[in-house]
Amino acid sequence: MALVILFMSYIKTSQEIKKIITGGKLIGEILEKLGKMAKPSVSAWEIDQAAERMIREAGGVPAFKGYHSRGEPPFPSTICASINDELVHGIATKEKILKNGDIFSIDIGMEWPKATSSKLPGFFTDTAITVIVGNVPKKVQKLLWVTQEALEVGIEQCKIGNTVADIGRAIEEYVKSQGDYGIVRDLVGHGVGHEVHEEPRVPNYYDKAGEKWVLQEGTVIAIEPMITLGDYHIKTAADGWGISTTDGSLCAHFEHTVCITKKGAVVATRRPGER
């Protein structure tokens, strides 16, 4: 019962949900444009500069730039730019140049509208894609497809009365049915809206603790499957941010911000070109 009461403190009002959906639509449009920029010889820094410009033109603020917690250094870029075996939190540098055969993950968050006071705050959305640069083998194409479909499977569980555990179970069962993939366990989805990261944790595997987190009207969560072609273990780079697979296997990451409403799940961050 105590956990349900804790969850109530993260419930969003109908007016807040409307703003999250509006902001989500904007960041979805931005992310689609950024994904199209991912071509050979383009640097992560160029894509990052475009991301910040588009966010600010939309009336928002980059959610990740300057973010830090637990004694970490402030994150220096607008997007998390991760290539191949780099899973998440990669820094977008000028030296990180895309080449044919890469897979490139773009994770982006935005506070919208820009907060002007504590009485007029902004609301956070969080979304990610992994795109192919040039040509890759079919097994890599399938990795991206399975990861994206796993996200959709998780979204299907976003119904009032279901639990966070239902989401993780559905994703895990789906991924295991598709082949021998690693499901990252040390990183999970999360609540979002008032802050970049809120409760509850949203694992991509079954976790009994998630049964206590019941989805209610006004719940807003970021679901983000992170799947590898090898082992699920991960390691952190010397810069304190970039996280990659321990065995060097390729990995993919897709994410959406999802609002639970009376009429069902609303995917706030849908991109225009998505189904």
The reported pLDDT for the residue numbered 5 is 37
Does pLDDT of 128 surpass 70?
A: yes
pTM across the whole model: 0.96
The reported pLDDT for the residue numbered 68 is 84
Q: Round the average pLDDT of the chain to a whole number and report it.
A: 95
Q: Read off the pLDDT of residues 164-204 as tens digits, 9 standing for 90 and up.
A: 999 999 999 999 999 999 999 999 999 999 999 999 999 99
Q: Read off the pLDDT of residues 200-216 as tens digits, 9 standing for 90 and up.
A: 999 999 999 999 999 99
The reported pLDDT for the residue numbered 71 is 74
Residue % of the chain over a pLDDT of 90? 92
Give Cα 257 distance to the centre of its chain: 8
Using CA atoms, how far residue 133 sits from 43, 49, 50, 102, 115, in Å, is 12, 19, 18, 5, 36
Dihedral over Cα of 70, 75, 79, 81: its sign: negative
Cβ neighbours of 235 (radius 10 Å): 12
* Rounded Cα distance, 42 and 50, in Å: 12
The reported pLDDT for the residue numbered 9 is 64
The reported pLDDT for the residue numbered 69 is 77
Domains of the chain as residue ranges with CATH: 2-267 (3.90.230.10)
E-state strands within 117-213: 123-132, 182-183, 189-191, 198-202
